[in-house]
C-alpha cells in the first residue's frame, strides 16, 4: 500500500529542506505545494499585477497548465505554461503576493485537486500548509514543523543571500509575519496543525537532527506494523502483569515518548525487567538476548516473533555491534541495561561502558526508565516468582551531549555516557516523577 507523508508548517520553519531530504532518503516522490502557489502568484503578477480581481483569478486558473518535474538536486522543477519558473518564483515580488493569491478559493480548489492527482497511489512526501488537514487528511504520517520567528527570519535571510537576492533581515521578518497572519487567518483551509500531526519544533535542531527525528518515526512505525505477533504477546503479558502484580505505569510526559525511538535505558535486577519495560512503554522495542538462549526449541519458538538482537555477551563481534547501531539508526527502539548485568541485591549498581558505547556510536535519543518491584518477584538465582507490586516509571528522552566528553578517551566516554544513564535512572527513583 502506498504511504503518504504530510509535512506542514510555517514559512521558513525548515519544512522544505526536511521534506526534500526525507523524500530522497526514503525514496518517495516529493511535492513542494508552496511552489505551486508561487507559480500561480507569478502568473497573477505578470498578467493582472498586484491589484488583481476575482475574475482575473478565474481566467488565470482556467488557462494555466502546471507541471511538476522531479529533480534530484533541487527537488522539484516547476513548469508554468511550458516555461521553467523554478528560480523566478523564489524572488521577493512573488513572495510578496503569494499569500493573498493562495487565499483565493478558486486557486486552492485548482491546486488541491492537482496535488491529490499527483499523490494518488504513490509513496509521497507532500509539503505545504494544508496537507494534513485538507489535501491528504488520511496521510499515514503527519508532521507540523514550527520554529521561533527570529530563527525563521534568520534562515530565510541567509537563503536569499546565498541566492544573491537582495533583502534585509527586518524585511524578511516582516514578510514572514505577514504571511503567517494571512496563512493562519484565511477562510479557506487556513494553516493549522492537524489533530493527529506530530509537532517538530526545529528552533534548536540542526537539519540533520530534524531529518533523523522524522525518518526514525516513520521507519519505527512501519517496522511496528510488521510485528503484529509482538503486540499480541505484549497485550497478553500486560494483562497478566496487571492482574497478578498490580502493574502501575507512570509517565513523566506521555506525549514526549509516544513516538520515541532510540535507546531505552533501565535499571536491571530481575529476568522479568525486559517484559516489564516492554509492556510499559507505548512503542514496540527490540531486545538483546544471549546467543545461548536461541538454542533450545521452546525458546526458539517464543523468541521467533519477538524482535531480538542476538549477541555473544562475552565477546560481541563487530558485526553484531553494527547490526545494533543500524537497528537504532533505522528507528527501532532498543532496551539496554547500563549496569550490564542483573543487580545481585536489587540496588542500582555502577554503570558498565557497554550501553554508553552503543549510545555514542548510534547517537540516538535516550529514554531513562526506572523499574521497581521486579527484584522482589524474581531475584537473581530464584526459580519461582513471588507476588509483589510492579511499578514502572518512564522518564523523558534526552540527547547525549558530546561536548562534555571532549578530551576523553573512547573508553572514558563510553563509561561517562553509561554513568549518565544510571544518574538519570536514580533521579527518577528519587523523585518518582512527582
Ligand atoms: O512554502 P512557501 O513559502 O513556498 O509557500 C508559499 C505560499 O503558499 C505561502 O504563503 C502559503 C501558501 N501555501 C498554501 O497556502 N498552501 C500550501 N499547501 C502551500 C503553500
CB 128 less than 6 A from any atom of ligand 1: yes
Q: H helices within 165-306, ranges in order? A: 169-185, 207-225, 228-245, 254-258, 273-278, 297-303
pLDDT of residue 142: 98
Mean pLDDT, residues 44-57: 94
pLDDT value of position 183:
84
Out of 11-25, 105-119, 312-326, the most confident range is 105-119
Q: Ligand 1 atom closest to Cα of 179?
A: 10
Mean pLDDT of 244-263: 95
Find out whether the beta carbon of 190 lies less than 6 Å from any atom of ligand 1: no
What is residue 328's predicted lDDT score, i.e. its pLDDT?
Answer: 95
Q: Which residue's CA lies nearest to atom 5 of ligand 1? A: 34
The residue with greater pLDDT, 65 or 311, is 65
Q: Would you state the pLDDT for residue 128? A: 95
Judge whether 14 and 127 are in contact, CB under 8 Å. no
pTM of the model: 0.88
* pLDDT band for position 434 (cuts 50, 70, 90): low
349 lines ligand 1 (CB under 6 A): no
Name 79's Cβ contacts closer than 8 Å, sequence gap at least 6. 66, 67, 68, 69, 85
What lies within 8 Å, CB to CB, of 180 at 6+ separation is 10, 11, 149, 191
* pLDDT tops 90 at residue 399: yes
Evaluate whether 303 touches 401 at the Cβ level (below 8 Å). Answer: no
Q: Which residues contact 89 (CB under 8 A, 6 or more apart)?
A: 35, 38, 39, 41, 42, 78
pLDDT tens-digit series, residues 166-184: 889 999 999 899 988 988 8
Distance 97 CA to ligand 1 centre (A): 11
Identify the residue with better confidence: 416 or 307. Answer: 416
Residue 9 CA to ligand 1 center (angstroms) comes to 9
Percent of the chain's residues with pLDDT above 90? 76
DSSP state of 227: -
Q: Residue 396: its pLDDT value, please?
A: 96
pLDDT at residue 29 is higher than 70: yes
Task: Identify the band that residue 8 occupies on the pLDDT scale cut at 50, 70 and 90.
Answer: very high
> Separation of 180 CA from ligand 1 center, angstroms?
10
Which atom of ligand 1 is least distant from the CA of 183?
11
Pocket test of ligand 1: the residue of 33, 35, 129 to mutate, having most ligand atoms within 8 Å of its CB, is 129
Question: Which residues, at least 6 apart from 275, have a Cβ–Cβ distance to it below 8 Å?
Answer: 237, 241
Closest ligand 1 atom to the C-alpha of 99? 10
Tell me: pLDDT of 1 over 90.
no
Q: What angle do CA 99, 103, 104 make, to 5 degrees?
A: 125
CATH number of this structure's domain 227-431: 3.40.1130.10
Q: What is the mean pLDDT of the chain?
A: 92
Taking the centre of ligand 1 as the mean of its atom positions, its distance from the CA of residue 178, in whole angstroms, is: 13
- Nearest Cα residue to 230 out of 318, 303, 327, 314: 303
Domain boundaries, the chain: 4-221, 227-431
pLDDT, average across residues 5-18: 92
Report the separation in Å between the CA atom of 16 and the middle of ligand 1, taken as the mean of its atom positions: 11
Which sign does the torsion angle of CA 406, 411, 414, 415 carry? negative
- For residue 293, pLDDT beyond 90: no
Top CATH class of 4-221 equals: alpha beta
Amino acid at each position: 500500500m502506498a504511504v503518504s507523508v504530510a509535512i506542514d508548517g510555517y514559512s521558513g520553519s525548515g519544512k522544505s529542506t526536511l521534506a526534500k531530504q526525507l523524500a530522497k532518503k526514503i525514496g518517495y516522490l516529493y511535492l513542494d505545494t508552496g511552489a505551486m502557489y508561487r507559480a500561480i502568484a507569478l502568473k497573477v503578477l505578470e498578467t493582472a499585477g498586484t491589484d488583481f480581481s476575482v475574475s482575473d483569478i478565474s481566467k488565470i486558473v482556467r488557462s494555466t497548465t502546471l507541471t511538476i518535474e522531479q529533480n534530484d538536486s533541487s527537488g522539484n522543477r516547476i513548469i508554468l505554461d511550458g516555461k521553467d519558473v523554478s528560480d523566478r518564483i523564489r524572488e521577493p515580488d512573488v513572495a510578496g503576493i503569494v499569500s493573498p493569491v493562495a487565499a483565493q478559493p478558486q486557486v486552492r480548489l485548482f491546486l488541491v485537486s492537482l496535488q491529490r492527482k499527483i499523490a494518488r497511489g504513490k509513496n509521497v512526501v507532500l509539503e505545504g500548509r494544508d496537507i494534513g488537514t485538507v489535501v491528504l487528511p488520511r496521510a499515514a504520517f503527519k508532521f507540523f514543523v514550527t520554529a521561533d520567528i527570529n530563527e525563521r527570519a534568520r534562515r530565510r535571510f541567509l537563503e536569499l543571500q546565498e541566492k544573491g537576492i537582495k533583502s534585509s533581515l527586518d524585511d524578511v521578518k516582516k514578510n514572514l509575519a505577514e504571511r503567517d497572519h494571512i496563512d493562519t487567518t484565511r477562510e479557506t483551509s487556513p494553516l493549522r496543525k492537524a489533530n493527529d500531526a506530530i509537532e517538530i519544533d526545529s528552533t534548536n535542531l540542526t537539519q540533520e537532527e530534524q531529518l533523523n527525528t522524522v525518518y526514525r518515526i516513520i521507519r519505527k512505525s512501519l517496522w511496528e506494523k510488521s510485528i503484529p505477533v509482538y503486540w499480541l504477546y505484549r497485550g497478553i503479558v500486560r494483562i497478566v502483569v496487571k492482574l497478578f502484580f498490580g502493574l502501575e505505569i507512570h509517565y513523566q510526559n506521555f506525549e514526549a515518548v509516544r513516538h520515541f525511538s532510540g535507546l531505552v535505558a533501565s535499571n536491571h535486577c530481575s529476568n522479568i525487567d525486559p517484559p516489564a519495560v516492554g509492556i510499559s512503554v507505548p512503542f514496540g522495542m527490540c531486545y538483546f538476548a544471549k546467543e545461548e538462549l536461541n538454542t533450545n526449541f521452546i525458546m526458539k519458538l517464543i523468541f521467533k516473533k519477538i524482535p531480538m538482537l542476538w549477541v555473544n555477551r562475552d565477546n560481541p563481534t563487530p558485526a553484531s555491534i553494527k547490526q545494533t547501531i543500524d537497528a537504532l539508526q533505522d528507528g527501532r527502539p532498543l532496551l539496554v541495561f547500563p549496569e550490564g548485568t542483573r543487580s545481585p541485591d536489587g540496588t542500582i549498581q555502577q554503570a558498565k561502558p557497554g550501553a554508553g558505547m552503543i549510545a555514542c556510536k548510534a547517537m540516538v535519543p535516550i529514554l531513562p526508565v526506572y523499574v521497581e518491584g521486579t527484584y522482589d518477584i524474581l531475584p537473581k538465582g530464584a526459580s519461582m516468582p513471588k507476588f509483589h507490586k510492579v511499578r514502572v516509571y518512564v522518564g523523558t528522552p534526552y540527547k547525549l551531549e558530546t561536548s562534555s566528553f571532549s578530551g576523553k578517551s573512547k573508553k572514558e566516554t563510553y563509561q561517562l555516557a553509561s554513568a549518565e544513564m544510571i544518574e538519570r535512572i536514580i533521579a527518577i527513583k528519587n523523585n518518582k516523577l512527582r
